[in-house]
Chain A
């Protein structure tokens, strides 16, 4: 039997909106994944360090404060410095369409916005991990 998918869900910056990230955390946990939730107000450095230490497959960052174009470049720079480029990074929250395009260009694999059905979140993560293959 394969290992459960390991996920770190994180809130970065000053944003306190945690409704969505908690729904995602519970959904993934109920689907049998190992879920770690960072809690609020983390820095990109803290999140990347935790993702590497916890050896997660997926890092999900939830943002409803509009700072996606500040946060994701930092996260990818840090991941690259740590040679952790194979980490799957996904995003969730509220953001304009053009920012969705922009963060995908940076390397965010999927952007799961509000009203994404829970089962779609689960299937998306399973697909992304399957596509990556064994580490």
Chain B
């Protein structure tokens, strides 16, 4: 290990610090005590009064390194925002494809540089809009997609070779990917030019977000199939967004968010390797998604540590040779759980602080939350304010001029290394306890998440975790009336009409034949499920047709809740 400074200087610094603690600090504390006996990050990591070069020296220089070079602590690319700002990717989705298409075009006109799609609960869970379980939910919290025709409406007039599209969807993700591919083919696009992602991270669904359909084994197989299919046919497309965001929103600490996400990564890589595909053939397109919470420096350290851990895992554990297989790229979203109803405009301030930390942490893409999201899904005005927040950071603050400007900060380097150490300890514990899949079934991750969520609720109650407007600076003056996003009551009728039309227009004989082929493919885990799914959606299959058929083959998953 090469140290930032030599051992002798470290010792000298340590003894100076000890002397300072005794003299200056000691004398000052007699006059004025500190606010608390001990200080911790939001994720419960103890922090010192001050950090010195001696603390930073505990990190080998080669672990800090340079941007765009192993272990990528300082950023995945050598020039970062000096070349191109992060992608400003506000998520949008409500109503039908036409309704959301208008919001996309509005956001693009406002300077957004990427698209991100939120789907309604039936789409996320694989139900058609006219299924009884969909009642009241069609187009409410996201856009409703049942068929290729919906997808065509969703992206009407948007050049998909020019803009990257993220689709936030999991157990039914592969069906939407199939629709996206058929849409691209119909428009004559080159599949290798499409960029974007499906989330398709099923393991964190069992852990946290709880959108699952099938048991774990076939679900992981679907993820594997998406990864291998894209590696062969869509060279710029990210077939997965391995996500910590929902783990965090479900209540976990930032440390566990980071560690659990990498535990899931390891499962996916193992599964793909079993097919015989070499790691460097698919790893460059693995992408991530993390939250940016409120503890400013902790979040920056988290992102830096994640990049370093990922690089080491890919190189040392999986034997990657291509540096692109070792550089972690991530989308980031500010923390929805940090938003409050009281004094809701304060949410703009919270979000801007979190967005700045995401940028200083080197994100590739960012969604900033709307100030109204403690009420409902965001209005156009709330999304414009959120987008402007990013644009101010990008255009007015000059933080984009120097890559990883906090690199070398005694505190940030020290916390980054502390994070790395703790992440690897958790990964080791997961393995010792029998591995990620076993622990998901046992509810081990879920219990960790629920425990921290409970702890957070208690800390808010006691005021240990301050929340302005909730347990601090409560103002009894009513807030100005807020306009929330209205739900169009005609949505379900409009949507179901199109779904019925597609069902009527398709060739029933061909359709039945394809469904039989789907069953055969599903029963043979050696096959890839993508090609038959592409044929099905091309032939007018609804998402529900495919999912209901597969439920008969694979069954469904039901969790035993822990709290």
Output the residue of A14, A43, A70 with the most chain B CB within 10 A.
A14
A26 close to B209 (CB less than 8 A): no
B121 close to A18 (CB less than 8 A): no
B residues 246-262 in Cβ contact with A at 8 Å: 249-251
**Complex CA–CA separation, A64 to B445 (angstroms):** 22
How far, in Å, is A116 (CB) from chain B's closest CB? Answer: 9
Contact partner, B137, options A22, A25, A65, Cβ 8 Å: A65
A39 close to B137 (CB less than 8 A): no
**Complex CA–CA separation, A40 to B460 (angstroms):** 26
How far, in Å, is B415 (CB) from chain A's closest CB? Answer: 26
Which residues of B have CB within 8 Å of A19?
249-251, 337, 449-450, 453
B460 close to A14 (CB less than 8 A): no
B375 close to A97 (CB less than 8 A): yes
Contact partner, B121, options A13, A94, A95, Cβ 8 Å: A13
Interface footprint category on B: 35 or more
B561 close to A95 (CB less than 8 A): no
Interface status of B3 (Cβ within 8 A of chain A): no
A14 close to B251 (CB less than 8 A): no
Interface status of B125 (Cβ within 8 A of chain A): yes
Contact partner, A115, options B211, B467, B559, Cβ 8 Å: B467
Instruction: Kindly report which residue of chain B lies nearest to residue A43, judged by CB atoms.
Output: B133
**Complex CA–CA separation, A97 to B453 (angstroms):** 25
How far, in Å, is B455 (CB) from chain A's closest CB? Answer: 10
**Complex CA–CA separation, A65 to B377 (angstroms):** 10
B residues 103-154 in Cβ contact with A at 8 Å: 121-122, 124-125, 127, 133-137, 140-141
B457 close to A118 (CB less than 8 A): yes
Interface status of A106 (Cβ within 8 A of chain B): no
Chain B at the A interface: mostly helix, strand, loop or mixed? loop
Interface status of B422 (Cβ within 8 A of chain A): no
B residues 451-468 in Cβ contact with A at 8 Å: 453-454, 457-458, 460-461, 467
A96 close to B375 (CB less than 8 A): yes
A14 close to B121 (CB less than 8 A): yes
A residues 83-105 in Cβ contact with B at 8 Å: 94-97
A96 close to B376 (CB less than 8 A): yes
A14 close to B454 (CB less than 8 A): no
Instruction: Kindly report which residue of chain A lies nearest to residue B135, judged by CB atoms.
Output: A70
**Complex CA–CA separation, A27 to B563 (angstroms):** 10
Q: Which residues of B are in contact with A by a Cβ distance under 8 Å?
A: 121-122, 124-125, 127, 133-137, 140-141, 205, 209-211, 249-251, 337, 340-341, 374-377, 449-450, 453-454, 457-458, 460-461, 467, 470-471, 484, 487, 558-561, 563
A-B contact pairs, 18 of them (CB 8 A): A14-B121, A14-B134, A16-B205, A18-B210, A18-B561, A23-B251, A26-B450, A27-B457, A39-B559, A41-B125, A65-B121, A65-B141, A66-B487, A67-B136, A94-B375, A94-B376, A115-B460, A119-B461
Q: Which residues of A are in contact with B by a Cβ distance under 8 Å?
A: 13-19, 22-23, 25-27, 37, 39-41, 43, 65-67, 69-71, 94-97, 113-115, 117-119
| 6 A-B pairs closest in CB distance | A70-B136, A16-B210, A14-B121, A22-B563, A117-B461, A67-B136
